[in-house]
Amino acid sequence: MAAAPPSYCFVAFPPCSKDGLVVFGKNSARPRDEVQEVVYFAAAYHDPGSKVECTYIEIEQVPKTHAVVLSRPSWLWGAEMGANEHGVCVANEAVVTREPASESEALLGMDLVRLGLERGATAKEALDVIVALLEEHGQGGNYYEDGSSCHTFQSAFLIVDRNEAWILETSGKYWAAEKITEGVKCICNQLSLTTKIDAEHPELRDYVKSQGWWNGDSDFNFSEVFSLTDDHLACSSGRESLEKQGGDVSAQAMIDVLRDKDSGVCVDSESFLTTASIVSVLPQDPSFPCIHYFTGTPDPSRSIFKPFIFVDDVKLVPKVQSPSFGNDDPAKKIPRFQEKPDRRHELYKAHEWARSLLENDQDKGQKLMRIMLDLERQGLEAMEDILTRAEVLDPAEVVDLFYDCVDTELKFFK
C-alpha cells in the first residue's frame, strides 16, 4: 500500500491567534516534479440539468457556484487547497485507512475540495456538500499523474470559515467530523479524530460493527477503528510548531511554520516536495476582507507568499496558470497518463532558475532571497494595514493585487 504524502494543514483561532483573526495554512506535499497552478473561477449561474466534468467523472451541476481561488496540481480539475468569496477555506489530506481505497474512477478528494468551495457559503455547508457527494458518487481513482501505477487514498479535510472549523475524515463513503472553535489544530496524512465526534455518517457505527472493527462496548474512537497504526507523531510535531507561537499566530507566524524543515512540516524528501503553500487570514469581524496568500511555486522556504482578496472583476494571472491541452491532455485520454506534457507555468520556470542560482552561486542566491523576502514583508504589512484601518476597502485598490505581486516577483528573476 502506497504511503500518503506527508502534507500538513493548520488552523488557529483566538485567543491563540492575533487580533480576532482565524489563521489557516497548508503545505501541499506531492510528487517532486508535479506543477501546481493558482486559478480563479468567478461565481456563475448554470442551466437546469447541466453537468460538470470533474477529474474523472461527470456529475450534476448546481444552479449557482461561488467564486473560488484554488491551488491545484495542474493536471486535474479539483484542488489541493483554496478559498471562496464567502471566506471558506478547504484543504485536503490523502490518508490510508484499514479499508483499501478504490482504484475505480470516482471523485478525488481534491475534486471534493473544489466542489465544497463552489457550493458552500459556510464551513458547515461545505462539509455537508462534501459528504453528500461522497455518498452519491464515492471516492476513487489515481491521485497522481502516473501511467505506470495507480496510487489511491482515502481523504481528510480541514474546512474553515470566520467562525469555526471542521475536521472531516473519511473511509470510502463513511465519515466523521469534529467542530473546532478555539485553540490550534493540525491535521496531516494520518487520521486524527478520536472520541470527540460532532457529526458522522448515519450508518458509521453499524458498518464498523459489521466488519468486526468495534464491538460497541468501548467508546467509539474513529482513529483507533480505522487506522492501520497508532503512530500520530508526525501530526504532533506539526501542532507543536504552531503552539510555539503562543497567542500570537499571525500570517507571518503561519508562514514561518510552513517553512520549517526541521519539524518536517516543509517536506523535501526523495519522493515528495512541498509543491505549493497557502495561508489565509479570516477576520472574525465580517466588515473586514479575508486575505489569502499563495506561493504558486515549490518549497515555501524559497518561495514568497503573495496576497489575494476577492473583489468583482479580479484580474486573472496567466503567469501562474499552466498550459491547457484540452481534450489532447493525457490526463483525459483512456488509458490515462501515457505521456507527461510540460505543465510548467512562467512563474514555475522562473523559480527553477532561482533554485539553480541558490545552489550554484550562494552569494547571489542569498541576495536574491533577501530581496524576495523583503517584497513579501511589504505585502504582509500592506495587508495588515487593510485589516486595521477604519475605512472600508475600495475594491479598485486590490483588483490587480495578486497579478501585480506575481508580476513584480517575476521582474526580480530577470
Q: Which residues are catalytic?
A: 9
Which residues partner with 90 through β-bridges? 82, 159
Which residues does 254 contact at the CB level (< 8 Å), separation at least 6?
A: 10, 12, 23, 24, 25, 242, 279
Neighbour count for residue 325 (Cβ, 10 Å): 17
Q: How far is CA 93 from the centre of its chain?
A: 8
Q: How far is 220 from 217, CA to CA, in rounded Å?
A: 9
* Contact in structure between 48 and 28 (CB atoms under 8 Å): no
Name which of 155, 156, 198 is nearest 179 in CA terms.
Answer: 198
CA distances from 211 to 98, 219, 226, 314 (A): 11, 17, 11, 51
Which residues does 345 contact at the CB level (< 8 Å), separation at least 6?
A: 35, 37, 74, 296, 318, 319, 320, 321, 322, 323
Tell me which DSSP letter residue 199 carries.
E
Q: How far is 79 from 308, CA to CA, in rounded Å?
A: 17
- Alpha-carbon dihedral angle through residues 374, 354, 252, 36, given to the nearest 10 degrees: 140
Alpha helices by DSSP H, 164-244: 204-210, 222-226, 233-243
